[in-house]
Amino acid sequence: MGESIIGRARKKGAIEVECHQLRDYAFDKHKRVDDTTYGGGMGMLLMAEPIALCFEDICRRTGTRPRLIYMSPQGETLTQKKLAELSEHENICILCGHYEGVDERVLEEYVDEQISIGDYVLTGGELPALVLADSLSRLVTGVLSDDECFEEESHYNGLLEYPQYTKPAIWHGREVPEILLSGHHENIKKWRREQMLIRTAEKRPDMLERAELTEMERRFICDYLESNGESKI
C-alpha cells in the first residue's frame, strides 16, 4: 500500500491507510490475542476483547464509527458493484482473521458485514484485506488521474473491457484493428462498446443477465451469437 498508484495517492493525501496491531490491545504480559477453541478442534482463535478494544479506540481517535468489514470466505463475494457501494463510506475498517478465525461474538456485536474474495481459504485475512483496500482506493477521487481510468474497465459497468493495443501497429503479423487508427472517435467508441458486448457474451455470458443493455445491444449480441452458431441470451 506504499508503492505505485496507491502509494502516490497516500503521499498526496487522497487516501489514508493505517494498520493497527491487535497485540497493542492485549491484556496479559505475553500480549496474546488468540486462544484454543471451546469444544475442541485444531487451531487457535482470535479473542474478542483485543479486537473490541482496538475498534473502540479507532472510533475514539477518528470521532466516527467506521464501517467494520470482516474478510471471510463465508462473506458476500466482492464485486465491482459492492466496491461502488463501499466507496460511499468515508471510513472503512477491515478486520483480518487468522488461524481459525475470530470469536463469533465480536462478529455479532461489531462487524457490519463480511466479504469474501472467492470460494477458497487462505491462511489469513491479510491478503483479502489488501485486495479490498486496493480495489476500493481506486474509486476514490484523486487516486487515479481521471474517473475514465476505471469507468470502462471490466466489471465497472457490468461488462468485460474491450481489447486494447499499443505500438507497433503490426506485431508478429497481427495488425491493430483499422478503426483504432482512423481517428474517428465516435466510431471507435461504438466499436469498443460492441467489443465489450462480444467479449462478455463469449467469456462471461452470466454477466449479461445483470448488465443494463439497450434493446439494440441485445439484438446485436443475439445476431453475433447466431452468426457463430451459439445460443441466444
- For residue range 70-102, list pLDDT tens digits in order: 999 999 999 999 999 999 999 999 999 888 899
pTM: 0.83
213 and 114 co-located in one domain: no
Strands 92-96 and 67-77: parallel
66 and 106 co-located in one domain: yes
The rounded percent of the chain whose pLDDT value lies above 90 is 83
For cell 493505517, name the residue. Answer: 18
- For residue range 160-185, list pLDDT tens digits in order: 999 999 999 999 999 999 999 999 99
Residues in CB range of 208: below 8 A, 6 or more apart: 200, 201, 221, 233
52 and 163 co-located in one domain: no
Between 105 and 231, the higher pLDDT residue: 105
- Start-to-end C-alpha separation, the chain: 41
11 and 87 co-located in one domain: yes
Residues in CB range of 15: below 8 A, 6 or more apart: 6, 9, 137, 140, 143
Least confident window among 13-17, 150-154, 178-182, 228-232: 150-154
What domain range is 197 assigned to?
A: 152-227
What is the spatial distance between Cα 193 and Cα 177, in angstroms, rounded to a whole number? 14
Domain boundary among the residues 111, 137, 163 is at 137
Which CATH number covers residue 82? 3.40.1280.10
170 and 127 co-located in one domain: no
